[in-house]
Chains A and B, each alone.
Chain A
Amino acid sequence: MLSKMKTTAAAAAVASAFAVPASAELTGDLTIFLDTSNPAPRATMEAMIARFGEKHPDLNIETTVIDREAYKTQIRNFLTANAPDVATWYAANRMRPYVEAGLFEDVSDLYAEPAIAEGLASTKGALTIDGKQWGVAYTYYQWGVYYRKDIFDELGLSEPTNWEEEKANCGKIVASGRACYTIGTKYLWTAGGWFDYLNMRTNGFDFHMDLAAGKVSWEDERVKQTFMNWKELIDMGGFIADHQTYSWQEALPFMVNGEAASYLMGNFAVAPLREAGLTDDQLDFYQFPVINPDVELSEDAPTDTFHIPANAKNKEAAREFLRFATSPEEQTIINNGKNLGQLPVNAASSVDDDKFLQQGFKMLSTNSTGGVAQFWDRDAPAEMAKVSMEGFQEFMVKPDQLDKILAKLERARGRIYK
């Protein structure tokens, strides 16, 4: 008995030192619900779970994959009625309702372990509510400006680092008969990305989060300043015309055909641009430029997460799975180009040899000191996100209506956050 305790303690010490999952024998059932229903992510996850199973042969693992959209409605049901031991979800405000309803397990103890505390520091904030952590991230991807390097070279431009350079670049691009930015706002969210960046660069991460949480008035002067910066780009003809009729994919041809020079988008835009024939010499990436030098840089990086439901039955095994999934080795494998093709969350893991992933990883781990936002429609409550993104789109088409739009959003704020 005593010797067994000793080995367990030794194993735990080894585990915390090397971040190797403790090989304490796990038994019983482990049910995992996944929303990674697309073929490639699904195969990635199933392979990872199989590797976990090999390490714990006595554990009976049962995996259920649910269609990503259906999952969003089913989660309310299964967390209360028929909870699995591990469930996928999203960070920040998207997990707030379940945290507040007491349906997710507090996993702050995991973040107290040195290996996790150091490895997962970059996404810790996104998983923290009320000073506690409620899950772990397993993948995320960067946002930023993807641009046509060949067009920049032709016009003699370099990557802008501040707002003045940005506007100067845009002026030259417009003068050459192109638009600076392509965008398709038909489904609204793309305009949300622009608002995220403009507001975070103008007023900082904390202000942006306060606005998402309904603590700041939409008619505040600082919010107006964000829109004034936006208006400068709109007024100089920086965005493509009729963007409200395109989806984000339908806005890609402008970039491919050289009618627009850049695209503020998530890293998932790279794959179709490459398929359409743009080489890595033609396509490049830069971080959204500084607007207000007094605020720290912060980025959008939507994060997918694992959680342990409060009603889970095998929490010990579930914790072990969370340790395993975020370990540097697994993070390296599941996020490489053959699998998810996104960024690993563990600072100790290596990033796939891809120009854009490399730049994104560097940006997020060293140059995003202000914080990591999840994207407007994940950070703001769903109803406010919808109303406000409609407002952003309207503003991009009719910038002179700003006061009216902000008044409308302010009324919505009064109604939505009680």
Chain B
Amino acid sequence: MFPKPIEKQSQAAQVAYKSLLPVALAFWLAPLLAVALFSVKPDADFTSGNYWGLPSSFEGATNYGQVFFNSDMPRYLLNSFMITIPTVIGAVALSSMTGFALGIYKFRANLWIFFMFVAGNFVPFQILMVPVRDLTLELGLYNTKTGLVLFHVAFQTGFCTLFMRNFIRALPFELIEAARVEGVSEWRIFWYVVLPLMKPALAALSVLIFTFIWNDYFWAVVLTQGIESQPVTAGITSFNAQFRAAYHLMSAGSIVAALPPVAMFFLMQRHFIAGLTLGAVK
């Protein structure tokens, strides 16, 4: 089932593996490296076809200065935070409650409700594009951060509920029964018994949802259209002028836009990996 560990392979296979791995890695990272390289190049390098060579002059400070002080990027970054953070809080809060209800209480429609949450994950979101846009228009939420947050919360809750319900299921049920015997109310059981035990799941889920929402481009383009509401993924295109695309600034902007989720990943690496494997092994 599992691949044989590399140390147990033949000598030739080990050498081939070790020499090909850096090559594959370089290929795989090439687009990212190109973006990083472009972000410190002057615009003229693009016009003269110097795509992969060294920058003709080092313009990192200028480009990043432009991005931070002479463009709308800070505003777009702020929008991204104002969309992502409420979404994370909303989706995690809702799903820990639904997860608790579906994981602890035994009632007849339990499994069916759970399936509905799960089934939501299988709806390709592209087919929702037109109805959701019309809905937000009618609710007066088109081109607002609130509209985007509400939609993301609704759409992410399906996956989060699946995650939380399975986690809560794995908790020892005796803890809850013991609390009930003591006469603790259900609400307090959730708050004082279950929630503290869910901390690793909460952390893992928050990191996952943060990166999902931060990197969302599709809904940002569909539901918002201006600087007052668009997140940074959509705002990057504001570096396209009427005639020319400022590739050097767009690269610098992309690097800046990618920093928060990358920072989040490295700071919370343990939780992130836990989040991906949680429930995979019993």
Contacts and interface: CB of A to CB of B under 8 A. Distances in A.
B47 A67 contact: no
Interface size bracket, A side = 20 to 34
B187 interface: no
A277 B242 contact: no
B242 A253 contact: no
Contacts of B46: 249
B48 A38 contact: no
Contacts of B47: 249, 252-253, 256, 272-273, 275-276
Nearest to B45: A276
A67 to B, nearest CB: 7
Contacts of A276: 44, 47-48
Interface in B40-68: 42-44, 46-49
A70 B43 CA distance: 26
The B interface is mostly helix, strand or loop, or mixed, namely: loop
A271 B243 CA distance: 11
Contacts, number: 46
B76 to A, nearest CB: 13
A355 interface: no
Given A38-B241, A68-B242, A272-B43, A257 B48 contact: yes
Interface string A262-275: 00001010011101
A252 to B, nearest CB: 5
B199 interface: no
A257 B225 contact: no
A255 B272 CA distance: 49
B44 A70 contact: no
Nearest to A272: B47
Interface in B218-259: 225-227, 238, 241-245, 247
A41, A68, A249 interface centre (most CB from chain B within 10 Å): A249
Interface residues of B, number: 17
Given A70-B226, A272-B43, A276-B44, A41 B242 contact: yes
Nearest to A271: B244
B242 A38 contact: yes
Contacts of A38: 241-242
B238 to A, nearest CB: 8
A68 B241 CA distance: 9
B225 A67 contact: yes
Given A67-B225, A70-B225, A272-B43, A257 B242 contact: no
A253 B244 contact: no
Contacts of B247: 249
Given A67-B225, A70-B226, A253-B49, A275 B245 contact: no
B49 A275 contact: no
Contacts of B226: 67, 70
A202 B247 CA distance: 38
A207 B237 CA distance: 39
Nearest to B56: A277
A1 to B, nearest CB: 49
B74 to A, nearest CB: 15
10 contacts: A41-B242, A67-B225, A70-B225, A249-B244, A249-B245, A253-B49, A256-B49, A257-B49, A275-B44, A275-B47
Closest 10 CB pairs of A and B: A253-B49, A276-B47, A268-B243, A276-B48, A256-B48, A276-B44, A272-B47, A275-B44, A252-B47, A38-B241
Given A253-B47, A272-B244, A273-B47, 14 more contacts: A67-B227, A70-B226, A249-B47, A249-B244, A249-B247, A252-B47, A252-B49, A256-B49, A257-B48, A268-B243, A275-B42, A275-B44, A276-B44, A276-B48
